[in-house]
Structure 1
Amino acid sequence: MIEELKTFIAVVDKKSFTKAAAAINISQPSVSLHISNLEHYFHTRLIERSNKQRNIFITAQGDILYKRAKQILSVLEETREELLQTDHSPSGTLRVGASMTIGEFLLPSILSEFMKLYPNIKLEITIENTEHIYEKFKNYDIDLALIEGTVPVENYIHHNFYKDRMVIVAPASFHYDQGAQLKQSLSNQTWIHREKGSGTGENLNIFLNSYGISPKNLITLGSNYSIKEAVKNNMGISFISSLVVEESVRNKEIKIIPLENQYYRYFSYLIHENNLPKAVELFIERLPQTEGNG
């Protein structure tokens, strides 16, 4: 049954019997046999085949089995690694997904400390925007998700672990009327923001709407670094984590436009409710418990 589940996962991932066979190094007839065995065992159709178009379609029951199969194989692998331990040092594989700001500015120091404490734990790290990390977490491609945006309420455990200060940043040469209202000063400006699915982009939209600010133009960039560089090079202004810009502000390359009230957001971690691996517990213990960066 284990091999059949591995084959089924490969077929869903590759969307092809032929590509799945190549990926897991078995023959295509063996792939077909494994899928047939699963469908017989569960008394349901898992994959619909289109002979004319040579396409396959995963049924609703197949979607359920895909997620469960990933859980089953993950637990089996964790159990195998624990049983094969030759010393008292924790081992296994920890799959961490982090959204961009967390991955670029908080995660490296956390990982460095974790690796020193637990050298026998293998780390697999994915850094993408919040939406993509959530999808990987939901599909059990990662064990732990570190995110900075909001995600749908599902069957998982959600905890805030870091309070992050958001700031408006502008080119060093930017002039504005300090006596004017924020809406008046910052409307009709070019704003630079992150792509759809980004936690930083989500917070910019919330901020603009709450102050009634109407941008003259919106430029979308795919990373925190590119936004910081765009602001520095007089392309526009932005609303971004202070973690991203603190060095450039110190170097007077860009400036922070003061807000009457500080604006914060929370970084959070997501874990699955059942069968929490020991490596995940140990990693959570290393997450910062600070209230933020000022």
Structure 2
Amino acid sequence: MIEELKTFIAVVDEKSFTKAASTINISQPSVSLHIKILEKKFKTKLIERSNKQRNILITQTGEILYKKAKQIISLIDDTKDELNNYHDSTSGTLKIGASMTIGEFLLPSILGEFIKEFPNVKLEVAIENTHNIYEKFKNYDIDIALTEGSVPAHNYTSSNFYKDTMVIVTPNSFTYDKNIGLKPNLSNQTWMHREEGSGTGEYLNIFLNTEGISPKNFIILGSNYAIKEAVKNNLGVTFISSLVVADAATNNELKIIATKTKYNRFFSYLVHERNLSKIATLFVEKLEKFSKRNIT
């Protein structure tokens, strides 16, 4: 049954029997057989195929089995690692997903401390926007998700581990009149914006709506670095984590606008409520220690 589930996962991921066969290194007839075995076992149609079998459609029951199969395979892999290493020093593979700001500016130092303490642990790290990281977490592709934006309510445990400060950033040439406030100064400006699904982009939208600021237009960029460089080169202004621009501001490459209001947000970690592996538990403990130093 385990091999059949692995085959089904590959078919859904690849959206093709042929590609799935190549990915898991079995024949295409074997792929078809595995799917038939599952459909017979669960008494339901899992995959609809066109007459030419070039296109496939996952049924609703297929979607349910796919999510459960991912959980089952993840649990088996975690159990195997834990049993194999029960009498040995802590080792195995930890899969972490982090949104962009966390992955670029906080995670390296956290992982450095963790690996120094547990050198036999292997790491697999994905750094993408909050939406993509949450999707990986939801599908059990990663053990722990580190996010900076809001995510849907689900069966997971969430806890804050860092308080971040968001700041208004402009080119050095920008003139800000403290006497007239944010709205008159920052309306009718070009704003650097992250792509949809970004936690940073979400907080920028909240900031603009809260302050009643009406941008002239947006430039959409896919990374924090690109936004920082765009502001430095006089393309516009932005609202972004102080982690991204602190060094550039110190070096007078751009300007942070001081405001009376502190704009803070929290970074969170997500773990599945059940079946947390030993290695994941140790990493959560590291995050909890990190949070005590960085949340006041």
**Percentage identity across paired residues of the two chains:** 67
Give the Cα–Cα distance (whole angstroms) in 2 for the partners of residues 291 and 84 of structure 1. 34
Residue 283 of structure 1: how far off its partner (Å): 0.8
Give the Cα–Cα distance (whole angstroms) in 2 for the partners of residues 18 and 253 of structure 1. 52
More divergent stretch after superposition (44-53 vs 25-34): 44-53
Give the Cα–Cα distance (whole angstroms) in 1 for the partners of residues 229 and 34 of structure 2. 52
2:275 aligned counterpart, secondary structure: coil
Give the Cα–Cα distance (whole angstroms) in 2 for the partners of residues 292 and 242 of structure 1. 14
Residue 119 of structure 1: how far off its partner (Å): 1.8
Q: Which amino acid aligns with 2:36?
A: S
Name the residue aligned to 1:70: 70
Give the Cα–Cα distance (whole angstroms) in 2 for the partners of residues 291 and 113 of structure 1. 14
**1:25 equivalent in alignment to 2:25:** yes
Q: Which amino acid aligns with 2:108?
A: P
After TM superposition, the score normalised by the length of structure 1 is: 0.97
Residue 84 of structure 1: how far off its partner (Å): 1.9
Give the Cα–Cα distance (whole angstroms) in 1 for the partners of residues 151 and 61 of structure 2. 24
Give the Cα–Cα distance (whole angstroms) in 1 for the partners of residues 99 and 50 of structure 2. 37
1:210 aligned counterpart, secondary structure: helix
Aligned residue runs from structure 1 range 96-245, under 5 A: 96-245=96-245
Residue 293 of structure 1: how far off its partner (Å): 8.7
Name the residue aligned to 2:265: 265
Unaligned runs of 5+ in 1: none
Deviations 1:260-289 (A, max 9, x none): 110001101111111111111111111221
After TM superposition, the score normalised by the length of structure 2 is: 0.96
Deviations 1:242-267 (A, max 9, x none): 00001011111111111111000110
Deviations 1:94-126 (A, max 9, x none): 110000000000000111111111122211100
Deviations 1:204-238 (A, max 9, x none): 00000001001112111110001111111111110
Name the residue aligned to 1:57: 57
Q: Report if aligned partners of 1:163, 1:291 keep a CA contact under 8 Å in 2.
A: no
Give the Cα–Cα distance (whole angstroms) in 1 for the partners of residues 214 and 72 of structure 2. 50
Q: Which amino acid aligns with 2:291?
A: Q
Give the Cα–Cα distance (whole angstroms) in 2 for the partners of residues 259 and 127 of structure 1. 31
Give the Cα–Cα distance (whole angstroms) in 2 for the partners of residues 290 and 130 of structure 1. 23
Residue 198 of structure 1: how far off its partner (Å): 0.3
Name the residue aligned to 1:80: 80
Q: Report if aligned partners of 2:161, 2:295 keep a CA contact under 8 Å in 1.
A: no
Deviations 1:40-60 (A, max 9, x none): 111111111111462111111
Give the Cα–Cα distance (whole angstroms) in 2 for the partners of residues 19 and 134 of structure 1. 26
Deviations 1:162-189 (A, max 9, x none): 1100000111121121111211111111
2:249 aligned counterpart, secondary structure: helix
Name the residue aligned to 1:253: 253
Q: 1:265 to 1:272 in 2, by over 3 A?
A: same
1:166 aligned counterpart, secondary structure: strand
Q: Report if aligned partners of 1:17, 1:31 keep a CA contact under 8 Å in 2.
A: yes
Residue 71 of structure 1: how far off its partner (Å): 1.1
Unaligned runs of 5+ in 2: none
Q: Report if aligned partners of 2:160, 2:291 keep a CA contact under 8 Å in 1.
A: no
Give the Cα–Cα distance (whole angstroms) in 2 for the partners of residues 207 and 86 of structure 1. 49
Deviations 1:17-50 (A, max 9, x none): 1111111111111111111111111111111111
Runs of 4+ more than 4 Å apart: 290-294
RMSD (Å) for aligned C-alpha atoms:
1.5
Q: 1:202 to 1:86 in 2, by over 3 A?
A: closer
Q: Report if aligned partners of 2:162, 2:295 keep a CA contact under 8 Å in 1.
A: no
Q: Report if aligned partners of 1:189, 1:237 keep a CA contact under 8 Å in 2.
A: yes
Q: 1:187 to 1:290 in 2, by over 3 A?
A: farther
1:70 aligned counterpart, secondary structure: helix
Q: Report if aligned partners of 1:105, 1:243 keep a CA contact under 8 Å in 2.
A: yes
Give the Cα–Cα distance (whole angstroms) in 1 for the partners of residues 127 and 27 of structure 2. 34
Name the residue aligned to 2:291: 289
Q: Which amino acid aligns with 2:231?
A: V
Q: Report if aligned partners of 1:93, 1:124 keep a CA contact under 8 Å in 2.
A: yes
Q: Report if aligned partners of 2:143, 2:272 keep a CA contact under 8 Å in 1.
A: yes
1:122 aligned counterpart, secondary structure: strand
2:104 aligned counterpart, secondary structure: helix
Q: Which amino acid aligns with 1:55?
A: N
